[in-house]
C-alpha cells in the first residue's frame, strides 16, 4: 500500500469510526423517543412507527458491527430522515415543519461519505441538490393542493425562492466549514497514523486498520499472512555510520518493500527497525514465498548512506499464515513476532514460518 493508498485507508478508517459512533447514538436516541411516545404522549401511531425505526436501527448497528459499512451508511441517513419526519408530524401535527430537517441531511452526508471519491462525491451532490429542491418547494407544493389567485401564487413563489436562498446560504457556510474541518482532520489523521520518517503507516495505525480488515475478511474465511521483519545488527549501523545514515537506511528500506507489495496490503513501521506487513488473500505457501522474496531483495540491495560505498545489510523475517475465522488478529501478530524471534536465534538473514 503506497502513501496515497495509506492516506485513503486512514480516511476510510476514521469515517468508519464516526459511523460506529453515530449508529450507536441513533439507536439510543430511538429508544428514548420510543419511551417518550409511549409513556408521555401515549401516541399509538408514534409508538408503532418508532418501534419500526428502532428495529431498523438495530439492524443498521448489526451491519456496522459486522463491517458492512456502505449498507450502514445508507440505513443511517434514511433512518434519520424518517425519524425527524415522524417526530415533526407528531410534535407539530403537520408535515410542513419537516422541511427544516433537510438542512440536517447535508452535514450527515459529509460525515459519512468522502468527497475525494468520485462515487461518494456524486452521492453528496445529488443529496444536496435534492435537499435544496425539497426545502425550497415544500410550501410551493402545498399550495397546489388548494385553489388560489395569481397574487397568492406570486407570493408563494417568492417565499419559495427566499427559502432556497436561505438554504443555499446555510449550505455554503456548512460547505466551507465542513471542508476546512475535514481537511484539518485529515492532516491530523495523517500525522497520527503515519510514521514521520518513512511515510508509511505507524504501529498504531497498523493495529487498528489491520483489525478492521481482519473483521471484514472474517465474513468469508479468507486466507491471510503476516510478516514481521527486523534489520539485522542495525545498532552497528548507527554506531559506525551515525544516526543520519541509519535513518537513510530505514527510509530506503520502506521504499524498497513498498514497491513490492500490493495496494490491498498493509505495510507499517512496527518498531525502531522492525516492519510489519498484512498480506490479504494470501495462503501459507504464498506468504512464505513473499517473505523470502523480500529477504532476498534486501540482501542484494545496496543502501546509499552518503558514503563512497553502498551499505549492505540483511533482515530476519517471521511469517505466519491463517484463515481469518481460525484465530484472533492479536494472537496472529504474537505468533508472527515469535517467528521473528526464532529467525534471529537461528542465525539471522533467514525466514521462519510458524
Angstrom distance (rounded) from CA 100 to CA 123: 20
Mean pLDDT of all residues belonging to the chain: 76
Q: Is the pLDDT higher at 222 or at 71?
A: 222
Round to whole Å and give the CA distance between 185 and 6: 15
Residue 307, classed as helix, strand or coil, is coil
Q: How far apart are CA 323 and CA 145, in angstroms?
A: 62
* Cβ-based neighbours of 80, under 8 Å, separated by 6 or more: 26, 104, 105, 108
Nearest to 209 by CA among 261, 282, 278: 278
**pLDDT at 139 (0 to 100):** 54
The 10s digit of each residue's pLDDT in 234-253 is 999 999 999 999 999 999 99
Shortest CA distance to 318 belongs to which of 257, 203, 229, 258?
A: 229
Mean pLDDT within 123-139? 62
Of the listed ranges 160-169, 175-184, 188-197, the least confidently predicted one is: 160-169
Secondary element (H or E) of residue 214: helix 203-217
Say if residues 340 and 350 touch (Cβ distance below 8 Å). Answer: no
Give the per-residue pLDDT at 315.
96
Residue found under cell 505466519? 320
Q: Which residues are catalytic?
A: 273
Contact status, residue 200 vs residue 269, Cβ threshold 8 Å = yes
Better-predicted residue by pLDDT, 121 or 253: 253
Ramachandran sector of residue 113 (left: φ over 0; alpha: ψ -120 to 50; beta: rest):
beta
Residue 249 has a pLDDT of 95
Q: Is 84 left (phi over 0), alpha (psi -120 to 50) or beta?
A: alpha
Examine the pLDDT at 254 and tell me if it is beyond 70: yes
Q: At what angle do helices 243-258 and 284-299 cross, to 10 degrees?
A: 140
What the block records as the C-alpha cell of 353 is: 514460518
Classify strands 315-323 and 351-353 as parallel, antiparallel or unpaired.
parallel
Sorted by where each begins, the domain ranges of the chain are: 3-193, 203-353
For residue 234, what pLDDT is reported? 94
- CATH number for the segment(s) 203-353: 3.30.70.270
Number of other CB atoms surrounding residue 151 within 10 Å: 8
Amino acid at each position: 500500500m503506497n502513501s496515497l493508498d495509506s492516506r485513503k485507508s486512514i480516511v476510510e478508517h476514521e469515517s468508519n469510526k464516526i459511523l460506529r459512533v453515530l449508529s450507536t447514538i441513533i439507536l439510543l436516541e430511538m429508544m428514548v423517543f420510543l419511551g417518550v411516545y409511549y409513556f408521555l404522549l401515549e401516541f399509538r401511531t408514534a409508538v408503532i412507527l418508532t418501534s419500526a425505526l428502532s428495529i431498523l436501527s438495530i439492524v443498521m448497528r448489526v451491519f456496522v458491527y459486522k463491517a458492512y459499512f456502505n449498507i450502514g451508511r445508507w440505513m443511517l441517513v434514511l433512518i434519520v430522515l424518517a425519524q425527524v419526519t415522524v417526530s415533526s408530524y407528531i410534535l407539530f401535527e403537520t408535515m410542513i415543519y419537516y422541511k427544516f430537517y433537510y438542512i440536517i441531511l447535508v452535514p450527515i452526508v459529509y460525515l459519512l461519505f468522502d468527497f475525494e471519491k468520485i462515487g461518494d462525491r456524486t452521492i453528496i451532490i445529488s443529496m444536496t441538490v435534492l435537499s435544496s429542491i425539497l426545502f425550497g418547494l415544500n410550501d410551493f407544493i402545498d399550495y397546489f393542493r388548494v385553489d388560489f389567485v395569481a397574487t397568492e401564487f406570486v407570493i408563494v413563489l417568492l417565499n419559495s425562492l427566499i427559502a432556497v436562498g436561505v438554504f443555499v446560504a446555510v449550505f455554503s457556510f456548512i460547505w466551507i466549514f465542513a471542508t476546512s474541518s475535514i481537511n484539518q482532520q485529515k492532516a491530523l489523521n495523517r500525522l497520527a497514523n503515519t510514521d514521520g520518517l518513512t511515510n508509511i503507516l505507524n504501529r498504531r495505525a497498523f493495529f487498528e486498520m489491520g483489525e478492521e480488515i481482519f473483521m471484514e475478511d472474517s465474513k468469508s474465511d479468507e486466507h491471510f499472512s503476516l510478516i514481521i521483519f527486523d534489520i539485522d545488527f542495525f545498532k552497528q549501523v548507527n554506531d559506525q555510520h551515525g544516526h543520519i545514515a541509519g535513518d537513510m537506511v530505514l527510509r530506503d528500506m520502506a521504499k524498497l518493500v513498498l514497491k513490492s507489495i500490493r495496494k490491498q496490503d498493509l505495510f507499517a513501521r512496527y518498531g525502531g527497525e522492525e516492519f510489519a506487513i498484512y498480506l490479504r488473500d494470501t495462503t501459507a505457501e504464498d506468504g512464505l514465498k513473499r517473505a523470502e522474496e523480500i529477504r532476498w531483495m534486501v540482501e542484494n540491495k545496496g543502501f546509499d548512506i552518503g558514503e563512497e560505498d553502498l551499505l549492505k545489510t540483511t533482515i530476519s523475517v517471521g511469517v505466519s499464515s491463517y484463515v481469518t475465522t481460525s484465530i484472533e488478529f492479536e494472537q496472529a501478530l504474537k505468533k508472527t513476532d515469535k517467528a521473528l524471534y526464532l529467525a534471529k536465534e537461528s542465525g539471522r538473514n533467514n525466514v521462519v514460518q510458524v
